[in-house]
Amino acid sequence: MARVGTRPENRHQARFLRILRDSGPQSRAELGDAVELSKSKVAIEVERLAELGFVDIVGLAASRGGRRSQMVALSQNLRFVGIDIGATSIDVAVLDGELNLLGQDRAETDVRLGPRVVLDQATDLVAKLRASLAGGSVAGVGVGVPGPVSQAEGALVAPPIMPGWSRFPIRDVLGAALGAPVMVDNDVNVMALGELHAGTARSVRDLLFVKIGTGIGCGIVVGGEIYRGVNGSAGDIGHIQVDGHGPVCACGNTGCLEAAFGGAALARDAEAAARSGRSAYLAEMLGKTLSAKDVGAAADAGDPVSLALIRDGGTRIGKVLASLVSFFNPGLVVIGGGVAGLGHPLLAEIRSVVYRRSLPLATGNLPIVLSELGGTAGVVGAGRLISDSALSVNGQSATN
Amino acid sequence: MARVGTRPENRHQARFLRILRDSGPQSRAELGDAVELSKSKVAIEVERLAELGFVDIVGLAASRGGRRSQMVALSQNLRFVGIDIGATSIDVAVLDGELNLLGQDRAETDVRLGPRVVLDQATDLVAKLRASLAGGSVAGVGVGVPGPVSQAEGALVAPPIMPGWSRFPIRDVLGAALGAPVMVDNDVNVMALGELHAGTARSVRDLLFVKIGTGIGCGIVVGGEIYRGVNGSAGDIGHIQVDGHGPVCACGNTGCLEAAFGGAALARDAEAAARSGRSAYLAEMLGKTLSAKDVGAAADAGDPVSLALIRDGGTRIGKVLASLVSFFNPGLVVIGGGVAGLGHPLLAEIRSVVYRRSLPLATGNLPIVLSELGGTAGVVGAGRLISDSALSVNGQSATN
């Protein structure tokens, strides 16, 4: 990569780069098959991509009968950076052109400290990680943040409980600090992209990725691309009302899904069960603040109250998902986020409710699975986000 | 149109035809602006389209400074046929190339008579209507049917309460009878296409069209195209569970939206209110089978029981829609279908529930409106369905 911000010059070059990113090294003949270009034109475009620093010629392919064709791979120097900012943590990763993880790091944070502090922390983490990894040239940085994002502004818009972040120019500030093009998106969308690139969802075009963390959100993939809705708020299912008489939510409404389940709600319910003495297991853990993880540990140890809390949460998520599955008819549902770590009892309950309540036509072949990527979905997806842009002609989308 | 089944030869021609269909006659210069082709290439493609019988040269445009440019319009001979098959009626229309209605007709039917009888009836209606309208050449026929459709087969797949229709080759049988290419889709998708072409939705890319007829369904438009889901069942919201203790639905489950509201449920509830004497208005109408329309008339006449039935239905629809709006973040919601004729009290209730319960970010600029097309949404949408195919290079989609 000679120059930061270099882009492919036409849609054939862009298509070649996507293929090399998603399917690994290819012979020139294979690339030619994929785009219906003459041999000589393929050769010209590949040569140009090598000159631009996007690809390397890595040898000769096996013969297909005639002369052996050159093997082409994404440049070994190509790097993307993925940053996943959560409410209480920052994950960063350096990825190669195919979005394989070359290294990653993590730090505790608190988004309530405001964007300057948190983004400085992220910049330092990236710098430290880059220094520990030899070579490479960063073609772009993808960032996931826990709230509604305006893509046009590269900023959060009115995120709940994140004072100082609304319209703060994350893209521009990180771009200046890291010296590379930056793209910002909602954390759940970014995780869905990660699943699409490297997880169970690789071969699926229409899917839902449900993140159950402190809060609850849904990434929607239509035709292999993230669907964001007209205001970028699509998939914000945490505030769907599941119980007219339920607890008051942080958003001010009553009975939101997120107020009934999710990391924060589970911690609250565990605390109550411990203090009231209903769960001896949880009561033993008191003295520190209880978390969703503690509920999982207590359930594993055989605590019926904790198991009931998890099952009850699964039922609530399942009811909402059943409606969404009937409506959206996806090919796959992936459950991720920290609370998904509760594992099988949660998944079993969600599946049971969805399969019972959705239309048979919509669930006939519908797998509902836990994320395989776990904690890396966010950083890999952030890399995918920026690589979709960096490997396109105009930086806009995956369609050219 | 010299020959049935003629198609544009390349994507520039296809693009010109779409522009002429959706925006009316254009000068050659305007067409050139839209596709970034040289003047001479535009002239060649337009000439070819005229030879193929797709367009007419209709005079000279006003000068833009230099020589006056030719005005191009879709051929006056171009015709599409739209057929909208409902549970108890068939609507047919003949449309010009811009999908303006040239004539329409309607007949009572009963889909339970089976596909042979009903499709014969439809064929006769079309033949009669065509005979009454002079000239033109039918480039294709679009058909909406009330159940889940396999586009690949051009047939319904396991539609409830339609004996004999499952996998019956509607496309092939009508194609042979009418001597033109046929495309079949679910009636709600077809109505959504009608709104997209000629209704309030013209300028919107992402929207929901909710049909409240005998049953309830939803057409989903993503990026200006119908989203069908992986099995073609997307938008089937009639069987979303709204009440765990509600009435048993025709589908066998309990508490489906469709069992609680919609034409059939409203008629059932009206009958009960009449027989129990709770509504004197409705009781007076007894002696015939009560319908949703009767409930509307009674409400207009001031019957509080009928008004309560409508409001209660609006609340139920509103609750489901509120979740879908939070999830999908559409730019517009259109309410159509026969029961939408209940008008303002229904709409007011739906709006009130959605605006109260959905995310503010998703409803900030969200219009919820009644369909302007009413009864013609289906036939216009069916015309749009087939014209999207007939005016494309490969007959597949709107993207070429």
Q: What is the pLDDT of residue A5?
A: 67
Q: Is residue B365 part of a domain?
A: yes
Here the tokens at position A289 are: 């603040």
Pairing relation of β-strands A155-156 and A137-145?
Answer: unpaired
User: For an interface test with B, which of A209, A249, A361 has the most B Cβ atoms less than 10 Å from its Cβ?
Assistant: A361
Give tens-digit pLDDT for A307-317. 999 999 999 99
User: For an interface test with B, which of A203, A209, A233 has the most B Cβ atoms less than 10 Å from its Cβ?
Assistant: A233
Pick out chain B residues at pLDDT < 50: 1-2, 398-400
Q: Which residue among B158, B322, B324 sits closest to A327, beta carbon to beta carbon?
A: B324
Same domain? A153 vs A269: no
Q: Which residues pair with B84 in a beta bridge?
A: B91, B144
Structural domain tally of chain A?
3
Among B59, B74, B89, where does a domain finish? B74
What's chain A's average pLDDT? 90
Which residues have C-beta within 8 Å of that of residue B2, sequence separation ≥ 6? B52, B53
Amino acid identity, residue A352? S
Residue A249 in contact with partner chain B when CB distance is under 8 A? no
Q: What is the pLDDT of residue A2?
A: 47
Distance CA B231, CA A202 (A): 19
Q: Quick one: pLDDT band at residue A396, thresholds 50, 70, 90?
A: low
Same domain? B210 vs B242: yes
Same domain? B30 vs B64: yes
In this prediction, residues A15-23 reach a mean pLDDT of: 93
- Per the document, the length of chain B is 400
Same domain? A246 vs A344: yes
User: For residue B334, which phi and psi values (nearest 5 degrees)?
Assistant: -110, 130
> Could you give the count of Cα atoms lying within 13 Å of A131 in the half-sphere of its Cβ?
6
In this prediction, residues A101-117 reach a mean pLDDT of: 95
Chain B residues within 8 A of A329 when measuring between CB atoms: 228-236
Q: What is the pLDDT of residue A398?
A: 42
The closest of B68, B15, B2 to B41, measured between CA atoms, is B15
Q: Look at residue A140 and tell me whether its pLDDT is greater than 90.
A: yes
User: For an interface test with B, which of A166, A227, A231, A243 has the most B Cβ atoms less than 10 Å from its Cβ?
Assistant: A231
Chain A residues within 8 A of B231 when measuring between CB atoms: 329, 361-362, 364-365
Same domain? A270 vs A361: yes
User: For residue A173, which phi and psi values (nearest 5 degrees)?
Assistant: -65, -45
Domain that holds residue B112: 78-195+377-390
Same domain? B304 vs B384: no
3-class SS at A125?
Answer: helix
Same domain? A29 vs A44: yes
3-class SS at B102?
Answer: strand
Task: Note the Cα A106 to chain centre separation in Å.
Answer: 16
Q: Which residues pair with A141 in a beta bridge?
A: A81, A182
Pairing relation of β-strands B207-212 and B332-336?
Answer: parallel
Q: Look at residue A361 and tell me whether its pLDDT is greater than 90.
A: no
Q: What is the pLDDT of residue B384?
A: 96
Q: Cβ of B322 and A218 within 8 Å?
A: no
Size of interface A-B (CB pairs under 8 A): 122
Q: For position B30, which CATH number holds? A: 1.10.10.10
Q: For position B115, which CATH number holds? A: 3.30.420.40
3-class SS at A218?
Answer: strand
Q: Is residue A336 part of a domain?
A: yes
3-class SS at A135?
Answer: coil
CA distance A265 to chain B (A): 20
In this prediction, residues A190-212 reach a mean pLDDT of: 92
CA distance A202 to chain B (A): 15
Same domain? A59 vs A171: no
Instruction: Determine whether B281 is exposed, middle or buried from the number of CB atoms within 10 Å of its CB (0-12, 13-18, 19+).
Output: buried
Lowest mean pLDDT among A81-95, A135-149, B203-217, B243-257: B243-257
Q: Cβ of A236 and B329 within 8 Å?
A: yes
Give tens-digit pLDDT for A233-267. 899 999 898 887 878 887 778 888 998 888 889 99
Q: How far apart are the first and last CA of chain A?
A: 21
Q: Cβ of A218 and B327 within 8 Å?
A: yes
Q: What is the ipTM metric for this complex?
A: 0.87
Distance CA A304, CA A278 (A): 10
Residue B249 in contact with partner chain A when CB distance is under 8 A? no
Same domain? B254 vs B342: yes
CA distance A393 to chain B (A): 17
Q: Cβ of A230 and B148 within 8 Å?
A: no
Q: What is the pLDDT of residue A394?
A: 79
Q: Is residue B119 part of a domain?
A: yes
Among A43, A74, A105, where does a domain finish? A74
Residues 165-224, chain B, touching A (beta carbon < 8 A):
205-206, 218, 220, 222
Q: Is residue B3 part of a domain?
A: no
Q: Which residue among B234, B241, B329 sits closest to A327, beta carbon to beta carbon?
A: B234
Amino acid identity, residue B123? T
Distance CA B31, CA B42 (A): 8
Same domain? A53 vs A165: no
3-class SS at B191?
Answer: helix
Q: Look at residue A63 and tell me whether its pLDDT is greater than 80.
A: no
The closest of B35, B19, B25, B12 to B72, measured between CA atoms, is B25
The closest of B162, B230, B209, B354 to A326, measured between CA atoms, is B230
Same domain? B350 vs B216: yes
Chain A residues within 8 A of B232 when measuring between CB atoms: 329
Chain B residues within 8 A of A235 when measuring between CB atoms: 327, 329
Contact A231, B362 (CB under 8 A): yes
Q: Look at residue A51 and tell me whether its pLDDT is greater than 60.
A: yes
Angle at which helices A39-51 and A28-35 cross, to 10°: 110
Cβ neighbour number for residue A389 with a 10 Å cutoff: 20
Residue B327 in contact with partner chain A when CB distance is under 8 A? yes
Q: What is the pLDDT of residue A387?
A: 95
Which residues have C-beta within 8 Å of that of residue A355, sequence separation ≥ 6? A363
Which residues have C-beta within 8 Å of that of residue A381, sequence separation ≥ 6? A82, A142, A144, A189, A190, A191, A192, A193, A194, A195, A196, A197
DSSP one-letter code for A63? P
Lowest mean pLDDT among A99-113, A200-214, B80-94: A200-214
Same domain? A87 vs A32: no
Q: Is residue A399 part of a domain?
A: no
Residue A355 in contact with partner chain B when CB distance is under 8 A? no
Q: Cβ of A327 and B327 within 8 Å?
A: yes
Chain B residues within 8 A of A328 when measuring between CB atoms: 220, 229, 234, 327
Q: Is residue A41 part of a domain?
A: yes
Q: Is residue B395 part of a domain?
A: no
Amino acid identity, residue B299? A
> Could you give the count of Cα atoms lying within 13 Å of B307 in the half-sphere of its Cβ?
9
Distance CA B207, CA B146 (A): 20
Distance CA B61, CA B226 (A): 35
Amino acid identity, residue A42? V
Q: Is residue B2 part of a domain?
A: no
3-class SS at B356?
Answer: helix
Pairing relation of β-strands B101-108 and B78-85?
Answer: unpaired
Q: What is the pLDDT of residue A225?
A: 92
Distance CA B346, CA B356 (A): 16
Among A51, A74, A97, where does a domain finish? A74
